[in-house]
Amino acid sequence: MEAIDHWYADFKYNWKKFLSKRSNFIELFFCVIYFLFVSFLFKKYLVVYETIPGIQLYDILLEYFKPADVSVYIFVLLYTIIFYNYLYLLAYPRMLVCFFIFYATCLFIRFILLTFINLEPPLMYQEFSDPILSSSTYEGIKITKDLFFSGHMVTAFCSYFAMPNRFLKIVFLLGSIALAILLIIQHVHYTIDILGAYVAVFLIYRVYYEKIYKHSKLTYQYSKEITNY
C-alpha cells in the first residue's frame, strides 16, 4: 500500500502542475496527434506491404529452434510490459509525453524502413495471433511481412530505456530477452529484425530521449520510494 500511496501522491501533484501550464496542453495535443498519425500509417499501408514481393533470408539461428505456436506467451508478456510501463509513467506526465514521442518516433523510423526493405516471412513461419492489434490495426487481415524491424521488440526496448525504476528496468530487460526468444521460437521474425529493433531504439534514445528524460525528471515530483534511483 505504501508504494501505491506514493504513486498516487506523485500522480496528483504532477498532473496538477502539468495542467497548470498552457504550453503543456499544446505539447500533449501534439503528442497525441503524432502518435495517431503514425498509427494511421501502419493501419493504411501494412496491407499494401503484403502485396509487395520480398526477399526470404536464411537465418541460421532459426534452424536451432523448432517452430512452435507460443502466441499466448508473447501476447501476455508484451502486454504485461505495456501495462506496467504505462501505469508507472501515468504518474509522471512529462515523462509520459516524452515516452509517447520517443515510441512514436521509433515506430515512424520502422515504417520508413518497412517501405524500403521488403522481406518474405521466415521458413516454417507460425502465424502470430494478437487479438488487440488484429481488431484495432490489422482489421482481421493476415499480416506476415511486417518484419524489419520488430514492432514487438520496439515496444519492449522503448519501455526498458524509458523506465527510471531500477527494479522494473531489470524486469523489462529480462522480459525483452524472453520476448526475443519467443519470437524466434514462433518464427515470426528473423534474428536481424530483433537486433535491428534494439539498435534503432538505442540510437534514438541516445540522440533524442536521453537528454529530454534527464531534464524532465528534474521538473516534477518523484518519490524515491517509487523511482528507486
DSSP, residue by residue, 110-157: HHHHHHH--BPPPTT------HHHHHHTSTT-------SSPHHHHHHH
Predicted confidence at residue 187, as pLDDT, reads 93
Q: So what's the pLDDT on residue 155?
A: 96
Tell me what pLDDT residue 95 has.
86
In this predicted structure, what is the pLDDT of residue 227? Answer: 59
How many structural domains is the chain composed of? 1
Residue 201 within a domain: yes
- Give the whole-angstrom CA distance, residue 221 versus residue 203: 28
In a domain, 211, yes or no: yes
Confidence (pLDDT) at 46: 87
Q: Which residues contact 134 (CB under 8 A, 6 or more apart)?
A: 140
Task: Tell me if 176 is assigned to some domain.
Answer: yes
Residue 57: inside a domain: no
Q: What is the pLDDT, as a whole number, of residue 210? A: 80
| Inside any domain, residue 60 | no
Beta bridge partners of residue 55, listed in sequence order = 119
| 205 occurs within a structural domain | yes
What is the pLDDT at residue 184? 94
Residue 69 cell numbers, joined: 505456436
Whether the ω angle into residue 99 lies within 30 degrees of 0, i.e. cis, is no
Largest CA distance in the chain: 56
Radius of gyration of the chain (CA): 19
Determine, yes or no, domain membership for 154. Answer: yes
Structural domain of residue 29, as residue ranges?
Answer: 2-52+65-227
pLDDT score of 136:
56
Backbone angles phi, psi at 119, to 5 degrees: -120, 150
Q: What tens-digit pLDDT sequence spans the chain (229 residues)?
A: 566 777 888 898 889 888 888 888 898 999 999 999 999 999 888 888 988 999 999 999 998 878 999 999 999 999 999 999 999 999 988 889 989 999 999 999 999 999 999 999 998 888 777 766 665 555 666 788 889 999 999 999 999 998 888 889 999 999 999 999 999 999 999 999 999 999 999 999 998 888 776 666 555 666 665 655 5
The span from the CA of 134 to the CA of 162, in Å, is 27
Q: Are 186 and 67 in contact (CB under 8 A)?
A: yes
